[in-house]
Structure 1
Amino acid sequence: MRFISKLAGVTRPRSDVFTYLFESRRSYPADRVLYREDKSKATLTLAELEHKSRQFATVLVERFNIQVMDPVAVLASDSIYYPIVYLGILAAGATVQLIPLQKELAVQDVVARMKAAGSKILITNAAMQDMANEASQLLSGIPVYDPSKDETAFSDGTLEFCGFSISDHSSAESTVGFLNRTSGSTGGKMKTVITTHSHFIATLDATVRTVPQNTDPDQDVWLSTLSLGFFINAKLNIGLNILLGIPVVLMNEPFHAANFDIIGRHRISFLFIPPPVAISIAGMSAAEARKVDVSSVKWLLSAGAAMHEGVSKAVSKNLNDAHLDLEWGTSETLLIAMQMDGHSSPPGSAGRLVNGIEAMVVDTYTGEPVGPGIDGEILVRNSAARFAGYKGDQAANQSTFDGDGWFHSGDYGSIDDNNNVFIKDRMKELIRVGSGYGVHISAVELESAIFEHPAVAEVIVTGVPNPRIGLDLPTAFVILSLEWQSRRAEALLSLQQWAQKHLVGLQTLTGGFVIVDKFPLIGFKINRRALKALVTATKTMEQTTLEQARALEQNTQMLDAERSSLTTAV
């Protein structure tokens, strides 16, 4: 059966993204400050944003001969120039190709992204100039341009570019607005995702309807918590905020516990909290959190991975008890479901299907559609805009998108009668265990159980293949809580004893525990493939730690025996 969103549908877009943002926005003054840099205090108003974006479009078209749908790459730290560049590319009719800043980013990553997209020019700033120049050399001298250093770009002599617009659905559906990169974190190779103007507008139309009722655009202030190069962050903070007229504070570094005070300094009301940021905030003590006035916080949103209830509650506790809502989406589909009122969402729900979304759940063995509450792979499509697929990857398009427009998400779960979506796991993260043909168990269920142990600050469970026996071994990668970090051997022993009691039968943790200091990331998602690679590298270390744990247990038993002997003697 088909599950069709019960929320009001969205109309088929007939515009380009630039026009949509500035003409469909809520009515608010043109001198409203929409961006403020935290350290420099530089600001950008709505009127300045529209004017300078069109000026930047003129520079792209006249100086660099950028044509409609030419990919323009952006490798820059966050500043008031970032939204100007982003929107200027769209105003020129070109295609936005964002490269998110991460501390692990190497020039080879930049080159690979630009080659896959076919980028014509690289926009950068002082912080990323050296890497941009190196990438240019490796790409046969592709132009590199920093608009912040060009005094003529935004002078009175540079006219606004008004030579591109879309006014019909067919053009909106066929014109590429964005090229985004999948994370590649679920086992497949990284792919370049095409997002049309129609798809992006339909997604924003749905997103704006999910904003909490207590949002006050005339008083609220949002915080960009990570690089605007992450597409989901740009959607929120160079899209949704413009429609609503809400100022965004831009940082020079990602948000985490060490710069927590920015919330109080700017009276922040909304934060996007991906899982790695959530772990940092959840790890703060109540005393640390109380040093900052967080009374302004009203809305928290996460995406990227399922979050343990304990982490979610700890984040909320440290941020004015605001509920941490969850958005479910993919690079290919953007928004699919959201908790629009997290306090009343059913336990374990990733939210309800948003406006315009249709879904099916199919049996993973037969491929046949199933009904409400029955698990299977979740397929989705958007009634307002067709998903455009991957650039230059016909094989991936054929295996992921079918002829009826359904996107095979690779997510395993169910949908209830009220269109609440329950994600149990990624299809590729279901772990096949047991003899014979085997059965699937959910890594998320194991993680939720292990998280109850007091030594666990965060845990990821994944199946590590054992070629000798042909099965996956459920293996838990654990970051220890602060009070246990100096007692690793004791913690390992305690976890093993706990698992023997609580994880039995098919849920037995046959791969054991691996204690790590941090999780490897791709973007803001945890890289499970890299974790699997750690098992071989840490095998000797883990065995040594296990021997230490056993020695500790033996010493404890000896001390108990000695104490018992002394007591008897007395």
Structure 2
Amino acid sequence: MILSSPHPDLLLPDVSFSEYVLRNIQKHGNEIALISADDNGKAYTYSELYESVLRCAGALFNLGVKKGDVVAVALGNRAEFPIIVLATAACGAILTTCNPNYTADEITKQFLHSKPSVVFVESGGLQTMIKVAEEAETIKQIFTAEKHSRCKSVWDLIAETGRKDFPFDVRPETKETPFYLPYSSGTTGLPKGVVLTHSNMVAIVALTGLAFAPSKKDCYYLVLPLFHIYGTMTIFTNLIQGIKTVLQRRFSVESFLHCVQEYKVTKTTAVPPMILAIYNSPLLSKYDTSSLQSLFSGAAPLPETVGFEVMKKLNLRVVQGWGLTEAVPLTATKDEQTPLKSIGKVIQNTKIKVVDTETGQELNCNENGEICVKGPQVMKGYYKNPEATAGCIDVDGWFHTGDIGYFDKFGHIYIIDRLKELIKVKGFQVAPAELEELLLRHPSVTDVAVIGIPDLKSGELPQAYLVVNDRSVTENDIHKFIEGRVSPYKYLKGGVVFCDVIPKSASGKILRRELRARAAAKAKL
């Protein structure tokens, strides 16, 4: 049985992403678009953003950025991020995002694959990026977000360039030309570049507007990273709709509550660990949060009991959503009758089916299987990786999500498990294969398997099972080996377990379910 939205499809314009966003931004004139909470509440109007995009695009074009070139952004939540994204789109080039907190090794691995020629970084990340450029030789120019004594900033480029330099004649083929290139581990394995075309991005933003149902009266608090697709779709949806967005680069309960009180925030997007931290904080009673109306939860499942308690305590609506970097958004919650544990119904322009994981046969109501989707928001494929693309998009064009779920008789969809091996730490993806590859470099490790174990604060934590040839190796030795080689959220905070053998199937695949069962049994002791 194939599910579709109960609402009419949305007519999606066949234009480039920059044209789509800019023509909407232009409508909102001198209204406040963005507020940078980390920069003393500095505000940017829609007119200022529009002008900055035109000049930044002209500057990139004058630098020789053209169709097929890659521009990389390793920035936190700041106004410069959407400006550079739109400027790159206007040049017909590809924009790839990168976590600014990555180590030099992690960034190098990604950039050797994506091959950017121009990179924008945080001032504090300049030295790291200079080191990356020594190996990633395609990098020709590095710019900072803020003014810096050692190199030009994006604002220097904007100041030096006039509107007349905007590349008006660039017209990318919207359905075929790659534009946005975030990296995701997909359903399994190491990070892969997700190719999103201009049409994909227009669909993502337009459909997110339907899912979030924003109002121009809203004030939106956004701390989820813009380099993540969740943050990307939120910021551009808000800009399209003329909504004021408060940006913050790091989350703390106190800074969140301060922003809600200071700016009369009405809506926010969060991941479950953030929601739990807010709910359990003794600071709640010290701030006025009466303006807050809705909280959108995503990136990981929110326990139903937690959702109910948060709604009761904060007097607001909690809504769960679902999507992947490869396909987002997929569902929308439009009515109060949607059960909290449901991720909603199929969004417009999209089709969803549930299939048997062994036979591929379509399943019916209340039958568990893998969820497959079709729609204009589904990626074109994985960058330079046709094998991985063929492994998740079948010959009929269905994208296999790797998530296990079902739908009820009303069309509400539920996620209950996932085929994918990804570990989600505070909403961030951790690929077991990446950590396993790293651990196997340790001279004493002969075999390894990494799983995620449940954690109340983080959602999940990575835990490693190791076979070693030296019994004197300790858990602390392994932790020290990991530290500095990957980002802190990838550390083995779930612990290290030494064992004699890693359970595997006849074909050699790691039986992670056995390890998760073993970890769960131990947790009950």
TM-score by length of 1: 0.71
Partner of 2:470: none
How many residues align? The count is: 445
Task: Report how far residue 165 of structure 1 moved.
Answer: 4.9
Q: Deviations over 1:85-109 (max 9, x none)?
A: 122111222111111344xx21111
Task: Report how far residue 164 of structure 1 moved.
Answer: 4.9
Task: Report how far residue 37 of structure 1 moved.
Answer: 1.5
1:412 to 404, 410, 416: 404
Partner of 1:468: none
- 2:383 counterpart SS class: coil
Partner of 2:267: 270
Letter in 2 for 1:261: H
Task: Report how far residue 82 of structure 1 moved.
Answer: 2.1
The 5 Å alignment of 1:341-352 reads 341=335, 343-352=336-345
Q: How far, CA to CA, are the matches of 2:13 and 2:23 in structure 1? A: 13
Task: Report how far residue 166 of structure 1 moved.
Answer: 4.2
Q: How far, CA to CA, are the matches of 1:127 and 1:74 in structure 2? A: 14
CA contact (8 A) 1:10 1:202 kept: no
Q: How far, CA to CA, are the matches of 2:379 and 2:82 in structure 1? A: 25
CA contact (8 A) 2:178 2:196 kept: yes
Q: Work out whether 1:234 is the aligned partner of 2:232.
A: yes
250-259 or 68-77: bigger deviation: 250-259
Q: How far, CA to CA, are the matches of 1:409 and 1:525 in structure 2? A: 27
Q: Deviations over 1:394-414 (max 9, x none)?
A: 221111101111001111111
CA contact (8 A) 2:100 2:121 kept: no
- Structure 1 pair 354/165, CA: closer, same or farther in 2 (3 Å)? farther
Q: How far, CA to CA, are the matches of 2:204 and 2:103 in structure 1? A: 31
- 2:329 counterpart SS class: strand
Q: Work out whether 1:394 is the aligned partner of 2:409.
A: no
Letter in 2 for 1:410: G
276-285 or 87-96: bigger deviation: 276-285
CA contact (8 A) 2:75 2:122 kept: yes
CA contact (8 A) 2:320 2:340 kept: no
Q: How far, CA to CA, are the matches of 1:525 and 1:379 in structure 2? A: 33
1:248 to 225, 245, 248: 245
CA contact (8 A) 1:372 1:417 kept: yes
% same residue: 21
Task: Report how far residue 273 of structure 1 moved.
Answer: 0.6
Q: Work out whether 1:118 is the aligned partner of 2:115.
A: yes
Partner of 2:371: 378
Q: Work out whether 1:146 is the aligned partner of 2:144.
A: yes
Partner of 2:290: 295
Letter in 2 for 1:121: V
- Structure 1 pair 114/349, CA: closer, same or farther in 2 (3 Å)? same
348-357 or 269-278: bigger deviation: 269-278
Partner of 1:316: 311
- Structure 1 pair 347/146, CA: closer, same or farther in 2 (3 Å)? closer
CA contact (8 A) 1:93 1:164 kept: no
Q: Deviations over 1:21-74 (max 9, x none)?
A: 13256x8541111011123332211111111111111111112x1111322100
Give the CA RMSD over aligned residues.
Answer: 3.4
Q: Work out whether 1:325 is the aligned partner of 2:337.
A: no
> Greater Rg, structure 1 or structure 2?
1
Q: Work out whether 1:205 is the aligned partner of 2:206.
A: yes
Task: Report how far residue 428 of structure 1 moved.
Answer: 4.1
- Structure 1 pair 269/377, CA: closer, same or farther in 2 (3 Å)? same
CA contact (8 A) 1:268 1:297 kept: yes
Q: How far, CA to CA, are the matches of 1:526 and 1:353 in structure 2? A: 32
Partner of 2:167: 162
The 5 Å alignment of 1:504-515 reads none
Q: Deviations over 1:107-134 (max 9, x none)?
A: 1111122222221211123132222222
The 5 Å alignment of 1:213-232 reads 215-217=214-216, 219-232=217-230
Partner of 1:423: 415
CA contact (8 A) 1:275 1:525 kept: no
2:496 to 534, 553, 565: 534
Q: Deviations over 1:441-460 (max 9, x none)?
A: xx9xxxxxxxxxxxxxxxxx
Task: Report how far residue 233 of structure 1 moved.
Answer: 0.5
- Structure 1 pair 348/429, CA: closer, same or farther in 2 (3 Å)? farther
Task: Report how far residue 211 of structure 1 moved.
Answer: 2.8
CA contact (8 A) 1:42 1:80 kept: no
CA contact (8 A) 1:327 1:337 kept: yes
Q: Deviations over 1:162-191 (max 9, x none)?
A: 335548xxx21101120011146x642211
Q: How far, CA to CA, are the matches of 1:412 and 1:525 in structure 2? A: 29
Task: Report how far residue 416 of structure 1 moved.
Answer: 2.9
Please list every run of 5 or more consecutive structure 2 residues that lacks an aligned counterpart in the other structure: 424-431, 433-448, 459-482, 500-520
- Structure 1 pair 395/344, CA: closer, same or farther in 2 (3 Å)? same
Q: How far, CA to CA, are the matches of 1:47 and 1:204 in structure 2? A: 20
Partner of 2:478: none
Partner of 1:509: none
Q: Work out whether 1:61 is the aligned partner of 2:53.
A: no
- Structure 1 pair 50/478, CA: closer, same or farther in 2 (3 Å)? closer
Partner of 1:451: none
- Structure 1 pair 256/392, CA: closer, same or farther in 2 (3 Å)? farther
The 5 Å alignment of 1:538-557 reads none
Please list every run of 5 or more consecutive structure 1 residues that lacks an aligned counterpart in the other structure: 431-442, 444-461, 463-471, 482-519, 538-545, 551-570
- 2:382 counterpart SS class: coil
